[in-house]
A and B are shown apart, each in its own frame.
Chain A
Amino acid sequence: MKFDTIIIGGGLSGLVCGIRLVKAGRRCVIVSAGQSALHFSSGSFDLLNALPDGSPVECPLEALGQLALQAPEHPYVKLGVERMKALLAEVPAFFAGAGVAVEGQGVRNHYRMTPLGAWHPTWLTLKDFFCCGSPEGKLPWRKAAIFNIAGFLDFYAEFIAGDLKKRGVECSVHLFNMDALEHLRKNPSEMRSANIARVFEKQENLERLGEILRDEAGDAEVVLLPAVFGLERADALACLRRVANRKVMLLPTLPPSVPGIRTQLQLKKYFQDCGGVYMLGDTVMKAEVEDGHVVRVYSYNHGNIPFVADDVVLATGSFFSQGLIAEPGRVYEPVFGLDVKYPEEREQWFDLNFFNRQAYQSFGVETDGGFRGMRGGKVLDNLYVAGAVLGGFNAVKEGCGGGVSILTALAVAQQIMDKRKIG
């Protein structure tokens, strides 16, 4: 199978890179071993929330100087301030093109509310999600009504109410039920966000809920709901707002994440509509490298029919997605055996406290300044690495997972286009 670019990994990073390239006219295939971490998304993408030493960041671009001192291997440091700025400027149009409506900008973080009612700094938030400019101070609402589905265990209206009250918002908590949900409830484990969302794909159910909101929200100016709407339809919230006749906003739930799934579906569809080939449920098993150049890539499903391409992008994610694999004594990248930096002594991979910075979360593939992977210190000239499989950053502690995935993917795409003199 002959393509211009093969992208290994179909999550956020792989899709962003793929879309950028197909739009520039490259023939791309994405091979994805199962669904991606977007399925656990909060509905927001973080750019940079804190420095490695723990000090909070409000304006990510201004913190890059400090970041370079504290984490010289950080992907952002490799990008450099100027490239970061240029790429950040591309992002809004990129998402708009794919039909993913987001709010926020890279100059200053805004704050989203978590399912546990905490305020978390972030960069981009999907439209319709509950967020604000500052984690403290007055909010623009006097009264909020928080609704949850009776028996839905992955959303915590009480936790959310607790924090809103602290910020001077009067809160009422409502549980609702509908006949259409009873069906789902017969199954003790499947009252999950995505299954509930399927119920609300139906117009009649959505309208019925709108009526419940209208009738029960009283004089609350804003209604807050768990994000269980719009698995496939983008107009679900608009419909609710119309019937309920007031502002309706969403808060993330525990996995699976409906907004994350929708984003995945939208990006994938956009990629395919632009001519990309997306192969789900296949694992790249091995690659043939000749003279520092990736020549062929073999997958499980395609067996003896290899993928051949000018460029290869590795966007396989971290441990979760098996882009990295840890054994008792070693950490490795399983497709190409790329260089990965980690301390030999296993006990140094971890901190005793779950909530402290965990060293293993910064492990990842080493690259040159142009994000090309290396083996034994030697660069593979057509293998680019993007997203969570990269080393040198801690997505959880630094709050930079979304940013690294999106920006390195765009950077890699740009690099390929420059090399091939296109776009």
Chain B
Amino acid sequence: MGQNEVNKDFDVIIIGGGATGAGTARDCAKRGLRVLLLERFDIATGATGRNHGLLHSGARYAVTDGESAEECIKENMILRRIASHCVEETDGLFLTLPEDDIQYQGKFVEACQRAGIRAEVIDPKEALRMEPSANPALIGAVRVPDGAVDPFRLTASNIMDAKSHGAEVLTYHEVVEVLRSGSQVTGVKVFDHKTKATKSYYADVVVNAGGIWGHRLAEMAGVRVNMLPSKGALLIFGHRVNRMVLNRCRKPADADILVPGDTICLIGTTSSKVPFEEVDDMLVTSKEVDLLLREGEKLAPSLAQTRILRAYAGVRPLVASDDDPSGRSVSRGIVVLDHAVRDGLEGFVTITGGKLMTYRLMAEWTTDLVCKKLGVNATCTTAIEPLPGSRENAEEVNKKIISLPLPQRQSSIARHGDLAERLSHNTPVENSLVCECEEVSVGEVKYALNELDVNNLVDLRRRTRVGMGTCQGELCACRAAGVMSREGKYCTRRAKEDLASFLNERWKGMRPIAWGDTLRESEYMSWVYESVCGLNMSQKQSE
């Protein structure tokens, strides 16, 4: 372990590679600031990558939180424009089931209209025609402009744009100390997980965009941000059961949203308080699984016969209101804390609260504050300028890569938008599939390795969906590790360790729902990797 001082100065250091951190890095870089983004693991590993991937219309909040609803619908419309390759315009239905109060529907529609959300009451029969998977017992339906958004792609795309505007992005860099000089934050000390070295970086302003981990970062800076970790568990089903987002038309409750996302659909969430010690290792319990299934089947009865791929949980970074010393009342919406004003600590800003949907707005407000502190006068353009991948329409891209086999072509456009043409696909070998469930080719893996900051198989999964399909890595993990090793990404020993670690990560999500075909898949996976390949614990332990 070495320690070296780094002299390079930045205007702003952003801690946290979630959507908010990435969005802030993009905004700051576009406004001409010298930006450093630090992420302790990979991008989108926290709450960003562990939610529904719902492109909220805001309807869900319309009755209870009009302000959030308005923010949502505005950002919804912006994301459709600037992040079209991350968004699917599915629309959503709010279903009233016989056990729900139909009176709520009127209140709901009215609140939506107030917030500027198009909400259209649909005849139950017509609703079933539009969405055949919906519970046929429904007694009411309202159509709203909900959709699906892929958080990994969204984050990666923001990072890419930030980098193209000069930002430096360091993943696997964990902040271990916030450096202060008196009442001024001057920089951070980080631990580089890859080289095991500790380094310091300096900037005029440090932005804490650490999500739930921002609580600890604030502590490091000597200020207190009172966060309330709230666990939300979700289930991923093997394929798309529904075409439109399905919600329950009632006061928001557990397991009442079913979102179609890419090749799968997911139901969520539960909601329970968890202690800070557990936020790094969320386990989904049998009780949570049972609850999600029970409620999910009410939205779409066919979920009962649908294979579950995995269960996972994220932690919402809820913030206690500053004006409530008890910490019980949760702050609504976006929270930007200027610690100079709040705590007398200069050069430190915390951005938290909010939701994936409002990441851009959060970034805008944060950047506004940073600019003000730095005395920079530049306007925000992130609401207007499309992200990389969303600059050309799909038909144009399709024409450019028409020689690829159809499913591969469709999949790579869906994942990379107009960047799909940059995938290496010149030879038949590069067109060979690594991941057959998700149609990921050798060329796409190579592209991700070379251009998308991939350090290991889990990173690769976030960029390409390798291992996210039905087989959960059984067929493709080994191939991907082989390609990474062959491409010189790591040595064969590291490749085996990484493979073991990837399989363990996949198992973590399969274990809570390991019965039926998922258990068959797991057993098969054990045979292939442990018996045939001889992969074992020692590889894992040596990590």
**A-side interface residues toward B, CB under 8 Å?**
37, 40-42, 46, 114-120, 150-151, 153-154, 156, 158-159, 161-162, 182, 185-186, 188-189, 191, 252, 254-255, 257, 318-320, 322, 325-328, 346-347, 349-350, 352-356, 358, 360-361, 395-397, 399, 401
Q: B500-543 toward A: CB 8 Å interface, digit per residue (1/0)? A: 10011011100100111001101111111011111111001000
Q: Indicate if the CB atoms of B527 and A353 lie closer than 8 Å.
A: no
Does B432 have its Cβ within 8 Å of any Cβ on chain A? yes
Q: Indicate if the CB atoms of A326 and B516 lie closer than 8 Å.
A: yes
CB contact between A158 and one of B492, B525, B535 (< 8 Å): that residue:
B492
Q: Which residues of A contact B532 (CB under 8 A)?
A: 40-42, 114-115, 252, 254-255, 257
Does B405 have its Cβ within 8 Å of any Cβ on chain A? yes
Q: Indicate if the CB atoms of A318 and B523 lie closer than 8 Å.
A: yes
Q: Which residues of B contact A356 (CB under 8 A)?
A: 537
Q: Which residues of A contact B432 (CB under 8 A)?
A: 151, 153, 185, 188-189, 191
Q: Indicate if the CB atoms of B479 and A354 lie closer than 8 Å.
A: no
A116 to B531, CA, bound (A): 11
Does B429 have its Cβ within 8 Å of any Cβ on chain A? yes
Task: List 5 A-B pairs, minimum CB-CB distance, nearest first.
Answer: A118-B534, A354-B507, A151-B429, A114-B534, A162-B492
| Contact A188:B405 (CB < 8 A) given known A40-B528, A119-B534, A361-B526 | yes
A146 to B535, CA, bound (A): 21
* Nearest-Cβ distance from residue A283 to partner chain B, whole angstroms: 15
| Contact A188:B431 (CB < 8 A) given known A159-B495, A350-B511 | yes
A153 to B428, CA, bound (A): 13
* Nearest-Cβ distance from residue B415 to partner chain A, whole angstroms: 16
Does B334 have its Cβ within 8 Å of any Cβ on chain A? no
A325 to B519, CA, bound (A): 9
Does B493 have its Cβ within 8 Å of any Cβ on chain A? yes
Q: Indicate if the CB atoms of A399 and B486 lie closer than 8 Å.
A: no
Q: Which residues of B contact A40 (CB under 8 A)?
A: 524, 527-528, 532
Q: Provide the main secondary structure of the chain A interface.
A: loop
Interface segment, B95-103, B269-277, B433-441? Answer: B433-441
Q: Indicate if the CB atoms of B485 and A360 lie closer than 8 Å.
A: no
Q: Indicate if the CB atoms of A185 and B531 lie closer than 8 Å.
A: no
* Nearest-Cβ distance from residue A76 to partner chain B, whole angstroms: 18
For B516, B520, B524, B525, the residue with the greatest tally of chain A CB atoms inside 10 Å of its CB is B520
A334 to B462, CA, bound (A): 39
Does B483 have its Cβ within 8 Å of any Cβ on chain A? yes
Q: Indicate if the CB atoms of A153 and B434 lie closer than 8 Å.
A: yes
CB contact between A116 and one of B285, B503, B520, B535 (< 8 Å): that residue:
B535
- Residue of B whose beta carbon sits closest to that of A356: B537
* Nearest-Cβ distance from residue A307 to partner chain B, whole angstroms: 26
Q: Which residues of B contact A153 (CB under 8 A)?
A: 432, 434, 442, 479, 482-483
Q: Which residues of B contact A350 (CB under 8 A)?
A: 511, 514
- Residue of A whose beta carbon sits closest to that of B504: A354
* Nearest-Cβ distance from residue A73 to partner chain B, whole angstroms: 19
* Nearest-Cβ distance from residue A131 to partner chain B, whole angstroms: 13
Q: Which residues of B contact A191 (CB under 8 A)?
A: 432
A318 to B533, CA, bound (A): 20
| Contact A114:B486 (CB < 8 A) given known A191-B432, A346-B286, A353-B504 | no
A370 to B503, CA, bound (A): 39
A382 to B457, CA, bound (A): 51
* Nearest-Cβ distance from residue B168 to partner chain A, whole angstroms: 32
Q: Which residues of B contact A114 (CB under 8 A)?
A: 532-534
Q: Indicate if the CB atoms of B433 and A189 lie closer than 8 Å.
A: yes
Q: Indicate if the CB atoms of B533 and A115 lie closer than 8 Å.
A: yes
* Nearest-Cβ distance from residue B123 to partner chain A, whole angstroms: 37
| Contact A361:B495 (CB < 8 A) given known A158-B486, A326-B515, A355-B504 | no
Q: Which residues of B contact A319 (CB under 8 A)?
A: 519-520, 523
* Nearest-Cβ distance from residue A45 to partner chain B, whole angstroms: 11
Does B408 have its Cβ within 8 Å of any Cβ on chain A? yes
- Residue of A whose beta carbon sits closest to that of B486: A158
Q: Which residues of B contact A396 (CB under 8 A)?
A: 526-527, 530-531
Q: Indicate if the CB atoms of A355 and B540 lie closer than 8 Å.
A: yes
- Residue of B whose beta carbon sits closest to that of A181: B428
Q: Indicate if the CB atoms of B482 and A156 lie closer than 8 Å.
A: yes
Does B478 have its Cβ within 8 Å of any Cβ on chain A? yes
CB contact between A159 and one of B441, B442, B492 (< 8 Å): that residue:
B492
Q: Indicate if the CB atoms of B429 and A150 lie closer than 8 Å.
A: yes
Does B496 have its Cβ within 8 Å of any Cβ on chain A? yes
- Interface residues in B, total, Cβ within 8 A: 56
Q: Indicate if the CB atoms of A355 and B496 lie closer than 8 Å.
A: no
Q: Which residues of A contact B504 (CB under 8 A)?
A: 353-355
Known: A153-B482, A322-B520. 12 other contacts (CB 8 A): A150-B429, A156-B485, A156-B492, A182-B428, A185-B429, A189-B433, A328-B290, A347-B285, A347-B286, A355-B536, A356-B537, A396-B531
Q: B398-418 toward A: CB 8 Å interface, digit per residue (1/0)? A: 000000010010000000000
A46 to B531, CA, bound (A): 9
Q: What are 24 residue pairs bridging A and B, where the CB atoms are less than 8 Å apart in the complex? A: A42-B531, A116-B534, A118-B533, A120-B531, A156-B482, A158-B485, A158-B486, A159-B496, A185-B432, A188-B441, A189-B436, A254-B528, A257-B532, A327-B515, A328-B515, A347-B285, A350-B511, A353-B507, A355-B500, A358-B522, A361-B523, A396-B527, A396-B531, A399-B531
CB contact between B524 and one of A162, A185, A320, A395 (< 8 Å): that residue:
A320
Q: Indicate if the CB atoms of A162 and B493 lie closer than 8 Å.
A: yes
A350 to B311, CA, bound (A): 15
Q: Indicate if the CB atoms of A255 and B540 lie closer than 8 Å.
A: no
Q: Which residues of A contact B506 (CB under 8 A)?
A: 354
Q: Indicate if the CB atoms of A320 and B492 lie closer than 8 Å.
A: no
A188 to B408, CA, bound (A): 9
* Nearest-Cβ distance from residue B335 to partner chain A, whole angstroms: 35
A342 to B289, CA, bound (A): 21
Q: Indicate if the CB atoms of B433 and A118 lie closer than 8 Å.
A: no
- Residue of B whose beta carbon sits closest to that of A151: B429
Q: Indicate if the CB atoms of B428 and A186 lie closer than 8 Å.
A: yes
For B483, B504, B532, B536, the residue with the greatest tally of chain A CB atoms inside 10 Å of its CB is B532
- Residue of A whose beta carbon sits closest to that of B428: A185
CB contact between B519 and one of A154, A255, A326 (< 8 Å): that residue:
A326
- Residue of B whose beta carbon sits closest to that of A388: B523
Q: Which residues of A contact B442 (CB under 8 A)?
A: 151, 153
Q: Which residues of A contact B485 (CB under 8 A)?
A: 156, 158-159
Q: Which residues of A contact B520 (CB under 8 A)?
A: 319-320, 322
* Nearest-Cβ distance from residue A186 to partner chain B, whole angstroms: 6
Q: Which residues of A contact B285 (CB under 8 A)?
A: 347
A327 to B429, CA, bound (A): 41
CB contact between B535 and one of A118, A257, A397 (< 8 Å): that residue:
A118
A319 to B493, CA, bound (A): 32
Q: Which residues of A contact B526 (CB under 8 A)?
A: 354, 358, 361, 396
For A41, A150, A188, A354, the residue with the greatest tally of chain B CB atoms inside 10 Å of its CB is A354
* Nearest-Cβ distance from residue B115 to partner chain A, whole angstroms: 40
Q: Indicate if the CB atoms of A151 and B428 lie closer than 8 Å.
A: yes
Residues 473-499 (chain B) with a chain A CB within 8 angstroms: 475, 478-479, 482-483, 485-486, 491-493, 495-496, 499
A374 to B106, CA, bound (A): 61
A397 to B537, CA, bound (A): 11
Q: Which residues of A contact B533 (CB under 8 A)?
A: 114-116, 118, 254
Q: Which residues of A contact B405 (CB under 8 A)?
A: 188
- Residue of B whose beta carbon sits closest to that of A156: B482
A354 to B534, CA, bound (A): 13
Q: Which residues of B contact A254 (CB under 8 A)?
A: 475, 478-479, 528, 532-533
* Nearest-Cβ distance from residue A171 to partner chain B, whole angstroms: 12
Q: Which residues of B contact A318 (CB under 8 A)?
A: 523
- Residue of B whose beta carbon sits closest to that of A149: B429
A243 to B413, CA, bound (A): 47
A37 to B527, CA, bound (A): 10
* Nearest-Cβ distance from residue A182 to partner chain B, whole angstroms: 8
- Residue of A whose beta carbon sits closest to that of B491: A162
Q: Indicate if the CB atoms of A349 and B495 lie closer than 8 Å.
A: no
A360 to B520, CA, bound (A): 11
Q: Indicate if the CB atoms of A117 and B514 lie closer than 8 Å.
A: no
